[in-house]
Amino acid sequence: MKTDVIIGIDIGTTSTKTLAYDTKGAIWAEVEQEYPLYSPDPSWKEQDPEEIYAAVKSTLAEVAQQVESKQGHIAGVGFSAAMHSILALDDEGNVLTNALTWADQRSFSEAEELKEGEGHAIYLRTGTPIHPMSPLTKLMWFRRNRPELFAKATKWISLKEYVCYRLFHRFIVDYSIASATGLFNLKELSWDDETLNLVGIKENQLSQPVSTTHVVKGLDSELAAYLNLDPETPFVIGASDGVLANIGVGAVEHGSVACSIGTSGAIRTIVNEPTVDPKGRIFCYALTEDQWVIGGPINNGGISFRWARDQLFPDIKESIKPNGFTAYDELTRRASFVRPGSNGLLFLPYLTGERAPFWDADTKGVFFGLTLDHGRDHMVRSVLEGVMFQMYSVAIALIEAGVEPVEYRAGGGFARSELWRQIMADIFETEIVVPESHQGSCLGAAWLSMKALGMIDDLSSVKEVIRTKVKHGPIEENVQTYRELKPVFLRLARQLPDEFKAISEVQRKISTQH
């Protein structure tokens, strides 16, 4: 008798990852395909929808073939996808634009204008902070800067919706992706009329919102043959990568907080009703009809560490040989010999602007407290600490919004670093649990699909298949040092917005001169 297997597909910013799992959490197959991010202007970050669709098809076909070769039965397919993408189609379904990703900053002016006007009221209804990442502000940009294209577009959809359209010729969007657009009313689970009127689009230009457990069947027979699937294989539309990552690390119960750092970073927890912050610091996105994820993303996680590697240690980057010991390992080793607090050196990790909790695209990176006694090793440890101070500032916003954390579960690339995990435990002043989880959003997509298809009873059962890899408790001496530095970091971040704006204007003028 064949084992039932679910395939989880995660459509990410740099690649699509497709994995197959059984109900015990065992991985049957794994394939990843990368694709480029296009930047025709420094503030533009786009993807080609056809390249994304091709990556989904090829990875799905290969995983399905591997599962079949191992005598598994593909019981369903579920989707995860990055939030905030948007692209336009004409009335024949032809693509009019590339997909603008969450990292696209072109709608900076529109976001700032919205903050001065109706922005906060929109946030309270939709749960999406006003920021250039949002499809809301991107639509405003198109209306102002590409009026002919804006008038021609009959559909505005995300990359996941485009993939679904190509597979099933239907325009549907899950509540989770919809709730990250800035256009979706959290309480009514429908498009927000006031916001649509503000932007200048009609509801029929958007996809039909459906539950994250919504099932679609009926692949074209030719396409099904290419994908190595039965045409009636059920596809579960799934949710966004952020909320599914909570499932993937086992942060599924009240008070369990997921902390991840990859290129960027995020802190998230699941709540039972839509929750927004009067100060506008956190997001609220749908997981299911009765479960929501609140939290905040930071722009600068591993990308700050990469900057330190490339700009502060180019000699080390070039000298490391491909023997498994990387330049990051060497930088971490050096940082481990620096005392906690980096001898009073603080790093504000705003190299690409910042999202939570400030939602200010003008913020810049800052080394504060630099003296003649500081060297490169102090600076790299300060970078690791600065990223974690910023994550801590998001945790503060969550706590002030009513969350009572009972555990922190760490995932993402940073969780491979013992030093960085310890820094987190010391700054957060609590034990950090590191699950033995792999590709959390894919596992989350598969597990949600199992729930939708009746293969499991409850999402919390995922904790039974995720083992704890390691735990880190805070070191009291380090805690005392960070207690002195945390308020200084937070004050700096709050007191510099005017100066960030001023230097940003100077930088924009300089960039246009060249």
293 belongs to a structural domain: no
136 belongs to a structural domain: yes
Instruction: Give the list of residues 6+ apart from residue 259 with CB closer than 8 angstroms, or none.
Output: 265, 266, 267, 391, 408, 409, 410, 411, 424, 432
Question: Are the beta carbons of 417 and 332 closer than 8 angstroms?
Answer: yes
Whether pLDDT at 371 is above 80: yes
285 belongs to a structural domain: no
- What is the residue whose two structure tokens read 């024949």? 92
55 and 26, same structural domain?
yes
Side-chain-side CA neighbours of residue 101 (13 Å):
20
Whether pLDDT at 379 is above 70: yes
**Pairing state between β 256-261 and 265-271:** antiparallel
Q: Which of 443, 459, 445 is nearest to 78 (CA)?
A: 445
Question: Are the beta carbons of 32 and 18 closer than 8 angstroms?
Answer: yes
451 and 387, same structural domain?
no
Instruction: Give the list of residues 6+ apart from residue 187 with CB closer than 8 angstroms, or none.
Output: 125, 274
The band of 69, judged by pLDDT with boundaries at 50, 70 and 90, is very high
201 and 68, same structural domain?
yes
144 and 123, same structural domain?
yes
Q: Of 199 and 467, which is predicted with more confidence?
A: 199
The band of 226, judged by pLDDT with boundaries at 50, 70 and 90, is very high
pLDDT, tens digit (0-9, with 9 covering 90-100), for 128-145: 999 999 999 999 999 999
482 and 461, same structural domain?
no
333 and 231, same structural domain?
no
pLDDT, tens digit (0-9, with 9 covering 90-100), for 174-217: 999 999 999 999 999 999 999 999 999 999 999 999 999 999 99
> Cα dist. 465→82, 436, 502 in Å?
25, 10, 51
Question: Are the beta carbons of 346 and 384 closer than 8 angstroms?
Answer: no
pLDDT, tens digit (0-9, with 9 covering 90-100), for 32-53: 999 999 999 988 999 999 999 9
Look at the chain and report how many structural domains it folds into: 2
Domain that includes residue 451, residue range: 3-249+440-467
Residue 218 Ramachandran class (φ > 0 left, ψ -120 to 50 alpha, else beta): left
458 and 371, same structural domain?
no
489 belongs to a structural domain: yes
267 belongs to a structural domain: no
The band of 503, judged by pLDDT with boundaries at 50, 70 and 90, is very high
CATH number, domain at 486? Answer: 3.30.420.40
240 and 379, same structural domain?
no
> What pLDDT was estimated at residue 185?
97
414 belongs to a structural domain: no
140 and 37, same structural domain?
yes
Whether pLDDT at 318 is above 80: no
460 belongs to a structural domain: yes
Q: Which of 77, 81, 78 is nearest to 64 (CA)?
A: 77
220 belongs to a structural domain: yes
307 and 223, same structural domain?
no
* Residues 115-123, mean pLDDT to the nearest whole number: 97
pLDDT, tens digit (0-9, with 9 covering 90-100), for 49-67: 999 999 999 999 999 999 9
Distance CA 474, CA 483 (A): 12
Distance CA 345, CA 485 (A): 9
> What pLDDT was estimated at residue 437?
74
**Pairing state between β 235-240 and 366-368:** unpaired
The band of 489, judged by pLDDT with boundaries at 50, 70 and 90, is very high
348 and 214, same structural domain?
no
Q: Give me 187's structure tokens.
A: 């309480």
> What pLDDT was estimated at residue 514?
62
330 and 306, same structural domain?
yes
